[in-house]
Structure formats: structure tokens, C-alpha cells
Structure 1
Amino acid sequence: MRQDDGPAASRRAVLRAAVVLPLAAACSSPSGSGAPAVPAGPPTSAAPATTAPATTSPARPAGEVARATSGRPEVALTFHGAGDLGLARQVLGTLHDRGAAATVLAVGTWLQQYPDAARMVTDLGHELGNHTWSHRDIDGMADAAARVEIERCRDVIAASTGGPGAFFRPSQAQHATPAVRALAAAAGYPTVLSYDVDSRDFTDPGPAAIRRNVAAATAGSVVSMHLGHPGTLAALPGVLDDLAARGLAPVTATGLFG
């Protein structure tokens, strides 16, 4: 009998097979790393692509002007646009008849109340600007409410004239905060119009006091006045005489800063 025959040989053959078969399986794995092949699982869907949230850069704040530095002998008479329409027509007509041009910063509710007001201003040779919708304290308002004040007035001006108006002026404030200036810029007003001379005519101090206050204007000044006060109308001829005596021509704010 051969040495390999018999029960002992059979046991050795079984042991050899137990070692060789796993090695063969390992060598046949796709990775070739020697690790046993892992059955493929169910296909997985690709992870959805992520998109970074869109970011909107805040509008750059509008510039603010209160006085021109060109040196030209000109001043800008600017009027808060509100009050009785007949009185406003007399003020603007007086300016027109004297060859003077002005800028009216209109309140939106006034333009809504008097649909002909915007065209009256422009037909008499004056320019129109935005003085908010309802003349609230815009510098103290939340951004969303302030935006409505600016844009709603802009839209009513555009409906009457085809454009947003020349300037924005904050209501109840001489100067606009950076936040309000940014909202104005986003609404289409690259320039906020302030002033350096306050006539104080809204306090109804009488024509002589209004005239004295406006006499502080010099070349390049922007004067704040109001349409809706009888004292303003009464003071206006003297105001124009004083400016003429000093060689100062009343022009629109666009003309002054042009």
C-alpha cells in the first residue's frame, strides 16, 4: 500500500482543500488586496447637489448733499410738498413769474389727494422729488416700513411723471441715516437732498422772520421751505428780492449740483 493511501491520506487531502479554497477566493476578488469580496449592496442615489444660499449685497448708501461747492452764484429753494393745493399753486406761480425755479419734495399722500399736483409742479418749470409717503419719522422706522415709505411715494411720482423724481429727502429729519440712504439708493435715488439753511416757515413765525432766516443763504446753499403755509407765500417776494440784490439766482437742486 502507498504511504498516501488510506485514512491518513484522506484527512491530509481534506485539510489541504480547506486552506487552498479560501486563498483562491481571495485572489479572485476585484480589489486584488487579498480581502474577501463583499457582495454589492443595492444601488444608492447620488447625494443631491447643494447650492449655496443666494446672497444679496446691500445697496451702497446714497450720497447726501446739503450745499454745493461750485462757487456759482446760485441757491436752491426747496419746498416740502403738502398742504392746500391753491396755496401751493400761488407759491409756485410766484416763483415762475419771477423766473425762479425750485425743487418740490412731495409727500406721497399729498400727490394722491391732488392727482394734478405733480404735473402742476413740473408744468410751472420746477422739479419734483420724494419726501416719503406719509411724512413719518423715517429715520426711526424699521427698514421694511421705511422702504414702503420711499417706494410708495416713488411709485405715485412715476405714475404722474414717468420717473421717480430727482432726489429723496427724509421726512422729519435734516439728514438720513445710513440705513435710510441705502434704502433710497435701492429705490432709485443716488442722492439724498439735505439743506444748510432752514427758513423755519413751518412754525409760522411771520413773513419778516422767514425772510431773515433765508437771508442766511449764500452761494451754493440749499434752503428748506414749505408750500402749505400762508406766511411762506407772503414772504416769498421779499426773499426773491433779497437774493437778487446779492446776485444769487434761485435754481433747482439739479441745477445747483449739476
Structure 2
Amino acid sequence: MLSHPGRRAALRAAGLGAAGAAVAGLTSGCGPGSPSAGPTAPSTPPPGPARPARPARAAPAAAPRRFPGQPVEIAHGPRDRPRVALTFHGNGDPAVARAVLAAAEKGGARVTVLAIGSWLDAHPDMARRILDGGHELGNHTQRHLAVNDMPEAEALAEITGCAQRLKRLTGSIGTWFRPSQTQYATPLVRKLAQRAGYPHVLSYDVDSLDFTSPGAVAVTRNVTGTIRPGSVVSLHFGYADTVDAMPSLLEELARRDLRAVTTTELLTP
């Protein structure tokens, strides 16, 4: 794996030693054809209520918002402003997730995290960590399965299951919904997301492919090769390559005068 001078510092800040770095990539992605959520996404819903945790305090969670003039499924924002949205699929080792957030904050970026409900069950404090960093938190289904292929009732349960956990932890169902195991939602899943309280479904127009563990240089190249004003970028927690790539990626965005903001900020005039 290619190294970066900021990687060791980021991992130390997250409390990762050599052993932690070795397991940092053992989590899943969410692009089309990518693996399912692995150990953090059980094949059946977790029994009983989610583990209790204190609600996020420093930055209360925002509710979903309707953006007039935008389609139900949003893949990018306005192309005439120098803003981009870095969006992360919330799953994997929380120490690596904290390292990614620390790197984003060091570079002045605010991001959008679409969390898997079973990940929040296992690591409820991550909801508070994300919001306390000034980022926004949304819904990426309960178990990270192929939601487009599910019967209506099961797909709705995947969306509402994660929404209920977000509500319990933060007081809100989260700012956005992103379907799992796909870039775009089917018309049925878009309808179900609206029924669950999400006016829009969040897609993306730039895929980092970080879940394939291609190395930090490739992650940066995948993003910077296609990003432009208004882009929504798909990234993941749980991969050391993503931690490694963050400093150079943010440096390149700054060089192009592109500011990394939350998706809500991207779409707000």
C-alpha cells in the first residue's frame, strides 16, 4: 500500500497502531458490485433496542430538507459555484473513521456521512463525533443490503430501521438518504424514502473507488480526475487508503479553489 506522510499522524490521532493499520481495510464498500457490509452488517436485524448513547450535543442533527427545483434523486449540485460535497458511507472500524474525520477537519472540510444502522448500533458514539465535528449525518439503510432488489415492505424496513436509530441518537432521522449497494435508487426506493421522511435521495457523480483499496494515489486520482464544481463524491470510512488520500485530495481541491462543504451547504444558495 502506498504511504503518505500524513497517514502515520492520522492513525496515531485515531489511536491506531500497526495492528490497527493492518485491519483498517477490512470493511466493505457500496458501489455497484461492491461487497456487502461484512461483519458490521448482519444478515438479520439486531435483536432488541439499539445500545443507548447520549444524544449528539455540540451540533444538533438537522432534519431532511426539501430543495425546490432539484430532482428527487440528486447526483450533484450547482455547477456555477466553487463547492463540492465529500460524502462518506458510514461503516467499518471507528478508529479509522475518526482518522478520516480528523483529516477532513484539519483541511477545513465539512463532510456528509451516510451511516449504516447496524454500524450505529455497534458504535453509537460515532453519531455524536460526526455532528460535533460540524459534519452532517444521514441514512444508508439498516443492513447495507441491495435495497433496490428487495420487496417493498423489506426495503421500507431497511430505510425506516436506520432512520429510527438516527432519531434515537440525534433527535433527527438525518439529513439525507442514500440507497445501499447501488449508485441510483429505483423509482420504488425513491418513493419509499419519501414515505420515510426524506424529500430527496442522494446519489453522486464522482466515485473514488476507495472500497477497492487501490492505494491512496489512485483514490486521489479517481476523484480529482473527474471532479468539478458541484460534484458529490462517494467515499468510505474504514479504509486506510482513504485516510492516506485525504491530505493530498484536500490540497488539490484547494489548489483548484474548490471548497469541500456538506451536501446541504452545496445545495443552499
TM-score, with structure 1 as normaliser: 0.75
8 Å contact from structure 2 (residues 79, 228) kept in 1: no
Instruction: Name which of 244, 249, 252 aligns with 2:259.
Output: 249
Map 1:81-92 to 2 at 5 A: 81-92=90-101
Q: How far did 1:70 drift?
A: 5.0
8 Å contact from structure 2 (residues 78, 266) kept in 1: no
| CA distance in 1 between partners of 2:126 and 2:182 (Å) | 24
1:218 is matched with 228
Alignment of 1:94 with 2:103, yes or no, is yes
Alignment of 1:183 with 2:166, yes or no, is no
2:13 is matched with none
Q: How far did 1:83 drift?
A: 0.3
8 Å contact from structure 2 (residues 92, 119) kept in 1: yes
SS of alignment partner, residue 77 of structure 2: coil
SS of alignment partner, residue 134 of structure 2: coil
| CA distance in 2 between partners of 1:123 and 1:70 (Å) | 29
RMSD: 0.9
Q: How far did 1:96 drift?
A: 1.3
Q: Which runs of 5 or more residues in structure 2 are unaligned?
A: 1-70
Amino acid at match of 2:80: G
| CA distance in 2 between partners of 1:191 and 1:135 (Å) | 19
| CA distance in 1 between partners of 2:171 and 2:106 (Å) | 26
Instruction: Name which of 53, 77, 92 aligns with 1:68.
Output: 77
Amino acid at match of 1:143: E
| CA distance in 2 between partners of 1:134 and 1:203 (Å) | 20
1:163 is matched with 172
2:203 is matched with 194
How many residues are matched? 197
Instruction: Name which of 123, 134, 151 aligns with 1:142.
Output: 151
Q: Which runs of 5 or more residues in structure 1 are unaligned?
A: 1-61
Amino acid at match of 2:263: A
Amino acid at match of 1:83: G
Amino acid at match of 1:69: P
| CA distance in 2 between partners of 1:87 and 1:207 (Å) | 14
Amino acid at match of 1:170: P
1:206 is matched with 215
1:151 is matched with 160
Q: Percent identity?
A: 52
TM-score, with structure 2 as normaliser: 0.72
Higher relative contact order (CA 8 A, sep 6+): 2
| CA distance in 2 between partners of 1:192 and 1:138 (Å) | 13
| CA distance in 2 between partners of 1:96 and 1:237 (Å) | 10
SS of alignment partner, residue 175 of structure 1: coil
Q: After the TM superposition, list the runs of 4 or more consecutive aligned residues in structure 1 that deviate by more than 6 angstroms.
A: none
